[in-house]
Amino acid sequence: MNKKEKWLCSVIGLFIMISIILAVSFKEKILIGAGKFMAPESSLTEGMADVVILEGTGTIGKGVVAKGIELLSSGQAKHMAIVLHSIGKNHWPFAFHEDYPSSVKMELQKLGLKDSDFTIIVTPIRNPVTLTSAKGALQILAKDRIKEAILVSPGFHMRRSFLVYQHLSLPLKIKIYPVACFDRYQLNDWWSHDYGPRDFLLELQKLALYMAKGYIPLKISY
């Protein structure tokens, strides 16, 4: 090995060493920053949103519902829309009720909400699921001529959901404000919980897939 090669190896080794030191020193900040990228949040500067959209699947999480009610009762949104997926009978979970949307409606009424406070939207399950669900929900909500909507979605799913809703809302001239909701872990320590790294990597993979297939145009601001 000549002097030039030795010098190059030394520089590369030094660079790797510095990178490792920086990564260890700023590990927490880097991971929190990565979490914030996958779970973005923004709020209205003034006034209130026309609706807060709660994104569910076949069911809706308690934490997501609680966040929606909080935004509604605090005057940050005028109305609440719960988006559910229609599950075929062959795919029902154990003890799942056939009319789950009615069960959700009943529980919301028990919590003190009036029928005029919320809307339950049921969308079909078709791939790509998040895109299909967002299209169905926005088609219904656009009839009320909404201009601003808060989107509540679980954890790291928020980034993909936000970009999908943002893209579909552009021609409708609807402004979307994302609010992520965490149940099993929090944004400041997600990497130290069993489900955190798995959820992060899974949603990052799905985000990349949506971008690769063109469901989320690259021109959309991230």
Question: Where residue 138 sits, what CATH number does that domain have?
Answer: 3.40.50.620
| Amino acid 73: pLDDT | 93
Residue 222 within any structural domain of the chain: no
Whether 207 maps to a domain, the answer reads: yes
Question: Is residue 63 included in any domain, yes or no?
Answer: yes
CA distances from 20 to 30, 33, 201 (A): 13, 18, 22
Is 28 inside any structural domain? no
Whether residue 126 is contained in a domain is answered as yes
For tokens 């990052």, name the residue.
204
Mean pLDDT by 10 residues, the chain (222 residues): 58 58 66 92 82 90 93 94 83 67 92 95 90 95 94 95 95 95 89 90 92 83 56
pLDDT at 18: 54
219 in any annotated domain: no
Residue 133: predicted pLDDT: 94
pLDDT for residue 117: 96
Residue that has been written with the tokens 């993979």 in this structure:
205
Number of structural domains found in the chain:
1
Q: Provide the 8-state DSSP code for 49.
A: B
Within a domain: 41: no
Instruction: Determine the structural domain holding residue 206 and report its residue range.
Output: 48-88+97-212
Q: What is the pLDDT of residue 220?
A: 54
Domain-located, residue 5: no
